[in-house]
Chains A and B, each alone.
Chain A
Amino acid sequence: MPLRLYLLRNAETEYCRTGRYCSRDGVPLTDHGKQMAEFFAKAYYQLGWQALFCSSLNHAQATLQPLVQATGLPFQCREDLRELGFGEWEGLAPEEVNARFHDDYIRWLADPAWNSPTRGEKAMQVARRSSNVLAEIENTYTDGNVLVVAHKATLRIMLCTLLGIDVGRYRDRLAMPVTALSLVELLEYGPFVRRFNDCNHLPLYLRRPWAGNGSDS
């Protein structure tokens, strides 16, 4: 059995629901978010986990909590899996950012790899810190199922580095609904994507359209 990385995005928060930037700590899940976390645990608690890694942010840990409870497994918290820091855009919606930080916003949209949100983080910085965790996992485990719970920007940046996609394209090439799960096997010739954005652990009413359910609403 190869080393299998399961990448899980955090469940819904009020910020995701309303489309605002969030990288701060202490944000709770919504009621739907809590249900998503429960459904994930229900679908995956019997998988046979080698290790669980989790971002230090509260909404990542709350997403993992039901699985931890169901399995009794410990989890390892890593600062390096935090969400990309949005700096002065924290808590704002894109339209507000566009009005108040117009030029920074345009630069960020065009190339978020090397342009940061105002006083926030560049995707390149997130690529480097999240790579520390990937290296740690590869150096610690040779096989088995390893879960990584992190966030929308962080996980898409990690997938870009794994797939060999320009990090600056992470926002434009990859969608990632809340609680989406992607499976990447670390094989002899590199990372092999088995599934991207699997949401089948969620009932239809908790899935976004396009999350592989054939719906169009």
Chain B
Amino acid sequence: MAQEFAESYAALPWTAAYVSPLRRAVETAQPLCDRCHLQMKLRPGLREVMYGRWEGMHPRAVDQAYHDEYVAWLTDPAWYAPVGGERAVDIARRSAQVLDEIEHTHSSGHILVVSHKATIRIMLSTLLGIDVGRYRDRLDMPVAAVSVVELAQRGPLFHTIADRSHLSDALRSLPCT
């Protein structure tokens, strides 16, 4: 998927790449950055939600072990954190600092941001003006999906959400969560 993304998108004149320091984000960005001679700017603000004690657990196991907290989180993940983890408002704040840095550093150009399922959906919610607590219910974000947002004169203009046309049929049809 990372290779196919690089093949489709290498032709764009990239200005910069901001990447979550988590290994899976770096590995996703690597092929494109190699081809385009881009140096990754690693930003902890782009990390995935920290799931605290739910880390690595299946939702069914979480539901059993932390039932009430799980139901509250499903209903409003903006202000309810996974036990010992982060609320969506926390992620909205740290990722907004990266968006802020990008806006202040670059006045134009193509900027790649490589991040994760929850973090990207939270960023898109803040850019669209959707309640951050709705990110899980309103937006899908399968692996290697690309969304294009132009920071236009009157704010963020969305061109695509969750586009996966750069993937071959075989990779696109793999099940993923």
Contacts and interface: CB of A to CB of B under 8 A. Distances in A.
Given A166-B129, A193-B138, A172 B152 contact: yes
A4 B52 CA distance: 34
A32 interface: no
Contacts, number: 90
A165 B128 contact: yes
A172 B128 contact: no
B156 interface: yes
Interface in B112-167: 128-131, 134, 137-140, 146-148, 150, 152, 154-163, 165-166
B137 A175 contact: no
A171 B155 CA distance: 10
28 contacts: A109-B154, A163-B128, A163-B130, A164-B130, A164-B131, A165-B129, A169-B155, A172-B154, A172-B157, A175-B150, A175-B157, A175-B158, A175-B159, A192-B139, A193-B162, A194-B140, A194-B162, A196-B158, A196-B162, A198-B160, A198-B165, A212-B148, A212-B160, A214-B166, A215-B11, A216-B12, A216-B13, A216-B110
A197 B137 contact: no
Q: Which bracket fits the contact residues of B? A: 20 to 34
A163 B159 contact: no
A210 B148 contact: yes
A193 B130 contact: no
A30 interface: no
Majority-rule SS of A interface residues: mixed
- Residue of B131, B165, B166 most packed against chain A (CB within 10 A): B165
Nearest to B161: A196
Contacts of A192: 137-140
Given A165-B130, A173-B129, A192-B138, A211 B155 contact: no
